[in-house]
Structure 1
Amino acid sequence: MSAARWRPVISVGCHVVFEGRAWQVVALRDAVVSLVDEHGTAAAVLVSHLCEAEGFQVAGSRPVADVPQWGLFEGVPERQRERALAWQRHIKEVETGLPVGAGGEPRPQYHPERTTMAEREQAKADELTALGWPGVSRSTVTRMRSHYRRQGLWGLVDHRTTRSASRTGRADERVVVAIMEALRRQRGRSKGTVRGLRHLTGQILEETHGTGEVKLPPESTFHRLVRALADPQELPGRPARTATNPARPYRPTSVLRPGEQVMLDTTRLDIMAVFDHGITGRPELTIALDVATRSILAAVLRPAGTKSVDAALLLAEMATPHPMRPTWPQALELSRAAVPYERLLSLDERLQGAAARPVIVPETVVVDRGKVFVSEGFLAACETLGVSVQPAPPRQPAAKGPVERTFGSINTMFCQYVAGYTGSNPTRRGRDVEAEACWTLPQLQDLLDEWITAGWQSRPHTGLRHPMMAAAALSPNEMWGALVAACGYLPIPLTGTDYLNLLPTVWKAVTERGIRVDHRTYDHHILNPYRGHPSPAGGKQGKWEVHHNPHDLRQVWIRLPDGNLTEIPWIHRDHTSSPFNDHIWQYLKTQVHRRPDHQAYEADLHRALDDLLHRARTGTGTPAEQARTTRHLPTQATPPTAPAAAPRGTRRPEAPARAPEPATAPLPPGVPPRSNGDRTAGTGTGTSGPDQHGLGAGTQQGWGESLDDFDDDYDPDEDDRDGGPSAAAAGFALYDARKEAEQW
Structure 2
Amino acid sequence: MAETLSNEAAGDRGRQRRLADGELMRAAPSVTTVRNWVRAWRNQGLLGLVDGRALRHIAKWDRIDERYRATAELVVAALDGDRSTVSIGEIDRRIRVELHRAGHRDVVTPQRVTAQYLAHLKHGIGATTRSQRSRAGRTVSGTASFPAIRPGQIVAIDATRADNLVYDPLFGRPFSVEILTAIDVATRVILALRVVPRSADGIDAGLLLYDVCRPFSMLVQGTTISDWRWAGLPDTLDVSDIAVTIGRRRVAPDLSTLQGEHRIPSVLPDAIRADHGSIFLSDHFRALLHEFGIDLLLSRGSKPTDNPHVERWHETLQRAVQQLPGYKGRNTSERGRLVAAEALITAAELEQYLRRFVALDYHRSWHTGLVLGADPTARTSPLELWDVMLDVTGRIDVPQRPDLIYQFLPIRWLRVGVAGAEYRNMVFDSRVLADFRNVAIGRFRAQDAAVPFHFDPHDLSRIWFRHPETGEIHPIPWRGALLTDAPMTETILDGLRQRIRDRGGNHILFRGSAQRQILDELTELTTGSAPPVDWTSKLSAAARRVQQSRTDHADAVGAAARTPIAEADTADALSDVPDLWPADDLLDRPWPHLEDEP
Shorter chain as denominator, the TM-score bin is: 0.5 to 0.7
Task: Say which SS state the counterpart of residue 413 (structure 2) adopts.
Answer: strand
- Which residue is 1:633 aligned to? 543
Q: 1:374 to 1:325 in 2, by over 3 A?
A: farther
Aligned to 1:604: 517
Deviation at 1:264, TM superposition (A): 1.3
Partner of 1:268: 161
Q: Deviation string for 1:267-301 (max 9, x for gaps)?
A: 11000000222131111110101000011111111
Q: Which moved more, 1:444-453 or 1:306-315?
A: 306-315
Whole-angstrom distance in 2 between the partners of 1:149 and 1:251: 35
Q: Does residue 363 in structure 1 map to residue 270 in structure 2?
A: yes
Separation of aligned partners in 2, 1:291 and 1:422: 29
- The secondary structure found in structure 1 opposite 2:361 is helix
Q: 5 Å matches for 1:460-475?
A: 460-475=366-381
**Counterpart residue number, 1:418:** 324
Instruction: Calculate the TM-score normalised by the size of structure 2.
Output: 0.61
Q: Which amino acid aligns with 2:165?
A: M
Which residue, out of 458, 466, 483, partners 1:575? 483
Q: Is the 8 A contact 1:339 1:481 kept in 2?
A: no
**Alpha-carbon separation, structure 2, partners of 1:148 and 1:464:** 43
Aligned partners of 2:292, 2:375: CA distance in 1, in Å?
35
CA RMSD of aligned residues (A): 4.7
Partners of 1:309 and 1:503 within 8 A in 2: yes
1:322 corresponds in structure 2 to 217
Equivalent position of 1:98 in the other structure: none
Confirm or deny: 8 A CA contact 2:458 2:546 kept in the other structure.
no
Aligned counterpart, 2:207: 313
CA distance in 2, matches of 1:263, 1:79: 43
Q: 1:611 to 1:694 in 2, by over 3 A?
A: farther
Distance, in Å, in 2 between the alignment partners of 1:404 and 1:357 is 21
Contact 1:68–1:151 (8 Å) recurs in 2: no
Task: Identify if the C-alpha distance between structure 1 residues 503 and 418 changes in structure 2 by more than 3 Å, giving closer, same or farther.
Answer: same
TM-score, with structure 1 as normaliser:
0.50
Deviations 1:19-40 (A, max 9, x none): xxxxxxxxxxxxxxxxxxxxxx
What CA distance in whole angstroms lies between the structure 2 residues aligned with 1:604 and 1:447? 40
**CA shift at 1:602, angstroms?**
2.6
Q: Does the 8 Å contact 1:293/1:479 carry over to 2?
A: yes
Counterpart of 1:131 in structure 2 is none
Is 1:490 the equivalent of 2:396? yes
Separation of aligned partners in 1, 2:419 and 2:542: 29
Alpha-carbon deviation of 1:466?
0.7
Aligned match of 1:505 in 411, 422, 427?
411
How far 1:153 moved relative to its partner? 11
Helix, strand or coil: the match of 1:500? helix
Counterpart CA distance in 2 for 1:382 and 1:150 is 53
List per-residue Cα deviations over 1:324-375 (Å, max 9, x = no partner).
Answer: 2664569x999xx98615699xxxxxxx964143333322222333332233
Residue 397 (structure 1) aligned with residue 304 (structure 2): yes
- Label 1:151 to 1:576 Cα distance change in 2 as closer, same or farther (>3 A): closer
Q: Counterpart of 1:274 in 2: which secondary structure?
A: strand
**2:184 aligned with 1:290, yes or no?**
yes
How many residues are paired up?
426
- Give the counterpart letter for 2:526 in structure 1: L
Distance, in Å, in 2 between the alignment partners of 1:581 and 1:424 is: 30
Instruction: Call closer, same or farther: CA 1:491–1:467 in 2, change over 3 Å.
Output: same
SS in 2 for 1:608: helix
Output the CA distance in 1 between the equivalents of 2:324 and 2:497: 39
Amino acid at match of 1:255: A
Q: Quick one: distance in 2 between partners of 1:150 and 1:380?
A: 56
**How big is each residue's C-alpha offset from its partner over 1:154-178, in whole Å with a ceiling of 9 and x where there is no partner?**
9xxxxxxxx99xxxxxxxxxxxxxx
Q: CA deviation at 1:322?
A: 2.3
Mapped pair 1:521 → 2:434: no
User: Structure 1 residue 457: deviation in Å?
Assistant: 0.7
Query: Structure 1, unaligned stretches of length 5 or more?
Result: 1-66, 86-146, 155-162, 165-233, 235-240, 345-351, 638-683, 697-744
Pairing partner for 1:340 from 235, 239, 247:
239
> Which deviates more, 574-583 or 548-557?
574-583
Change (3 A) 1:598 1:551: farther
Contact 1:279–1:630 under 8 Å retained in 2: no
Q: Residues 76 and 564 (structure 1 numbering): CA distance in 2 closer, same or farther, change over 3 Å?
A: closer
Cα distance in 2 between the residues matched to 1:150 and 1:271: 64
CA distance in 1, matches of 2:179, 2:443: 40
Question: Which aligned pairs between 1:82-231 and structure 2 lie closer than 5 A?
Answer: none
Q: What SS class does the counterpart of residue 550 from structure 1 fall into? A: coil
**Pairwise CA distance, 1:418:** 1.3
Match of 1:300 in 2: 194
Q: 1:189-208, CA deviations, whole angstroms, 9 ceiling, x for partnerless residues?
A: xxxxxxxxxxxxxxxxxxxx
Q: Which structure has the bigger radius of gyration?
A: 1
The amino acid that maps onto 2:339 is V
The answer for the alignment partner of 1:614 in structure 2 is: 527
- Gaps of at least 5 residues in structure 2 are 10-24, 44-51, 54-122, 124-129, 243-250, 252-258, 560-598
State the distance in 1 between where 2:420 and 2:310 align: 45
Q: How does 1:15-94 map to 2 (within 5 A)?
A: 81=31
Secondary structure of residue in 2 paired with 1:438: coil
1:624-663 matched pairs, under 5 angstroms: 624-634=534-544
CA distance in 1, matches of 2:37, 2:325: 76
Alignment of 1:248-263 (within 5 A): 252-263=145-156
Per the alignment, residue 440 of structure 1 pairs with 346
1:687-702 alignment, distance < 5 Å:
689-694=552-557
Asked if the contact 1:509/1:542 (under 8 Å) is kept, the reply is yes
Shift of 1:469: 1.2
Structure 1 residue 636, shift from structure 2 partner:
7.8
| Cα distance in structure 2, aligned partners of 1:286 and 1:148 | 53
Instruction: Tell me the SS of whatever aligns to 2:369.
Output: strand
Aligned-pair CA distance for 1:480: 0.5
Letter in 1 for 2:518: L
Structure 1 residue 453 displacement after superposition: 1.2
The answer to whether the 8 A contact 1:279-1:626 is kept is: no
Q: Secondary structure at the match of 1:264?
A: strand
Which amino acid counterpart does residue 275 of structure 1 have in structure 2? D
Question: Taking every aligned residue pair, what percent have the same amino acid on both sides?
Answer: 23
Contact 2:206-2:288 at 8 Å conserved across structures:
yes
**Which shifted more, 400-409 or 310-319?**
310-319
Structure 1 contact 459–476 (Cα < 8 Å) conserved: yes
**Would you say the 8 A contact 1:338–1:481 is kept in 2?**
yes
Decide whether aligned partners of structure 1 residues 528 and 289 sit closer, same or farther in structure 2, where only a CA change above 3 A counts: same
